[in-house]
Amino acid sequence: RKEVEQDPGPFNVPEGATVAFNCTYSNSASQSFFWYRQDCRKEPKLLMSVYSSGNEDGRFTAQLNRASQYISLLIRDSKLSDSATYLCVVNGAGGYQKVTFGIGTKLQVIP
């Protein structure tokens, strides 16, 4: 089993739709969880951290389920500008030196 698994997509959704991505991780001792966004041929940038209580930032909601070892990202009212690859990132029990990225889920928002 991979340390961090994501469905690579692509997810093609119309503008205004709600879309959700899941990411599973294998190390139950993982401590920190993040979603990064990566535009085509650009560097990844932090979208949001994922807290145990869940967190929301505008149209974006991230949740963590430790029991089932997955994190999720929900995007409401999708915009064309949301088209990108969304990377799930997990910091493991080893601290900073154990940073694992998922392969990313590609989202294409269609007019």
Partner 1 sequence: NAGVTQTPKFRILKIGQSMTLQCTQDMNHNYMYWYRQDPGMGLKLIYYSVGAGITDKGEVPNGYNVSRSTTEDFPLRLELAAPSQTSVYFCASTSGTRSYEQYFGPGTRLTVT
Interaction residues for partner 1, span 45-104 (CB under 8 A): 45-46, 49, 87, 89, 91, 96-97, 99-104
The span from the CA of 85 to the CA of 94, in Å, is: 26
The answer to the question of residue 16 lying near partner 1 (CB under 8 A) is no
Q: Is 26 helix (H, G, I), strand (E, B) or coil?
A: coil
The answer to the question of residue 20 lying near partner 1 (CB under 8 A) is no
CB closer to partner 1 out of 83 and 104: 104
- Give the list of residues 6+ apart from residue 62 with CB closer than 8 angstroms, or none: 35, 48, 49, 50, 51, 54, 55, 56, 71, 72, 73, 74
Chain positions contacting partner 1, by CB under 8 A: 4, 8, 32, 34, 42-46, 49, 87, 89, 91, 96-97, 99-104
